[in-house]
């Protein structure tokens, strides 16, 4: 990769990570401006890429207020559509960087491709930047982890057992050379960002719509979010065992978030499951996956 490309993604990563150090628009905004400047120089983006990103910043700023009723509903829908458009690489102006292309990670698995995406991080970045409550200090982080670690271990066991039973994966311990890159990229640009969108934005909005209290609100927001999450995956993988696993994963991540009220807890589970899957089992999944 060219130096400007490496620095652009480093600045984008620092934009995200700085939010846990001191959430100041001057800090994360400076890193973001630097990331865009370097990305322009590296020809990763063109000026039109600013349109959906700028729109999301405005929309999340508006949603931070106490909007209710139809106005909030419309803004949530528009925000979700633009966010998903970025996550699915539908918007022009982005030229994502291939790291691996159709590489065989496991012997009997589908070929795996890995890209550094400049568009997808904005899928959840502004959820965090504009005001989502994050763990404020190490003491609070320790309290969250005491709850999150046993829940995460239990969740991973459930997902692994389901994936093994359905034939999606097999036992395949390995340590590929790309692992450390995968682990860092998956934490910052996948697990943090996806949890910010699905739990910090979508699930919280469903929780609000369900009344923000009681059994219905707490369970309903988790189930509906998990269903939407799985339904979207049908577009790429119309496979019942896979969609079942995605739905269960959504329930587990969502339940951990709802129980702890900490995004860091669901990020931990999401990331550690991905790492466990990568290191110990078929990655990404078996070629001969059952259709039903």
Look at residue 108 and give its three-state secondary structure: coil
Within a 13 Å sphere around the CA of 18, how many CA atoms are in the beta-carbon half?
20
Task: Identify the segments of the chain with pLDDT beneath 70.
Answer: 1, 289-292
Residue 38 lies in a domain: no
pLDDT of residue 234: 87
Rg (C-alpha) for the chain, rounded Å, is 19
pLDDT of residue 290: 62
Residue 20 lies in a domain: no
Which parts of the chain are beta strand (E)? 97-103, 112-116
pLDDT of residue 285: 92
Look at residue 7 and give its three-state secondary structure: helix
- Per residue in 135-169, pLDDT (tens digit) is 988 999 999 999 999 999 999 999 999 999 999 99
Q: Which helix (H) or strand (E) holds 28?
A: helix 25-41
- Per residue in 50-77, pLDDT (tens digit) is 999 999 999 999 999 888 899 999 999 9
What pTM value is reported for the model? 0.96
Residue 178 lies in a domain: yes
Cα 177 to Cα 175: distance, rounded to the nearest angstrom: 7
Residue 243 lies in a domain: yes
DSSP 35-100: HHHHHHHTTSB-GGGHHHHHHHHHHHHHHTS---HHHHHHHHHHHHHHHHHHHTT-SSSB-PEEEE
- How many domains does the chain divide into? 1
Q: Which domain holds residue 220?
A: 45-280
Residue 117 lies in a domain: yes
pLDDT of residue 236: 79
Residue 160 lies in a domain: yes
pLDDT of residue 291: 55
Look at residue 208 and give its three-state secondary structure: helix
Residue 4 lies in a domain: no
pLDDT of residue 237: 81
Residue 136 lies in a domain: yes
């Amino acid at each position: 990769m060219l130096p400007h490309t490496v620095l652009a993604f480093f600045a984008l990563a620092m934009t995200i990570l700085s939010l846990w150090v001191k959430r100041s628009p001057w800090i994360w905004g400076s890193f973001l401006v630097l990331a865009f400047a370097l990305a322009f120089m590296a020809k990763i983006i063109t000026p039109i890429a600013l349109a959906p990103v700028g729109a999301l910043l405005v929309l999340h700023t508006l949603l931070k207020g106490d909007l209710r009723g139809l106005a909030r509903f419309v803004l949530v829908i528009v925000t979700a559509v633009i966010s998903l458009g970025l996550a699915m690489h539908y918007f022009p102006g982005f030229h994502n960087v291939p790291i691996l292309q159709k590489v065989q990670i496991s012997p009997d698995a589908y070929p795996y491709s890995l890209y550094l995406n400049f568009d997808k991080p904005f899928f959840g970045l502004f959820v965090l930047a504009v005001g989502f409550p994050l763990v404020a200090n190490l003491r609070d982080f320790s309290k969250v982890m005491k709850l999150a670690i046993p829940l995460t271990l239990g969740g991973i066991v459930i997902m692994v057992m389901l994936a093994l039973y359905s034939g999606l994966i097999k036992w395949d311990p390995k340590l590929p050379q790309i692992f450390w890159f995968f682990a860092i990229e998956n934490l910052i640009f996948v697990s943090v960002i996806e949890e910010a969108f699905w739990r910090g934005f979508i699930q919280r909005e469903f929780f609000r719509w369900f009344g923000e209290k009681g059994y219905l609100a707490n369970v309903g927001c988790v189930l509906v979010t998990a269903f939407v999450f799985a339904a979207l995956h049908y577009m790429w993988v119309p496979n019942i065992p896979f969609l079942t696993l995605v739905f269960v994963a959504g329930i587990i991540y969502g339940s951990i978030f709802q129980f702890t009220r900490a995004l860091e807890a669901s990020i931990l589970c999401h990331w550690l499951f991905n790492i466990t899957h990568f290191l110990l089992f078929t990655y990404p999944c078996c070629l001969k996956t059952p259709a039903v």
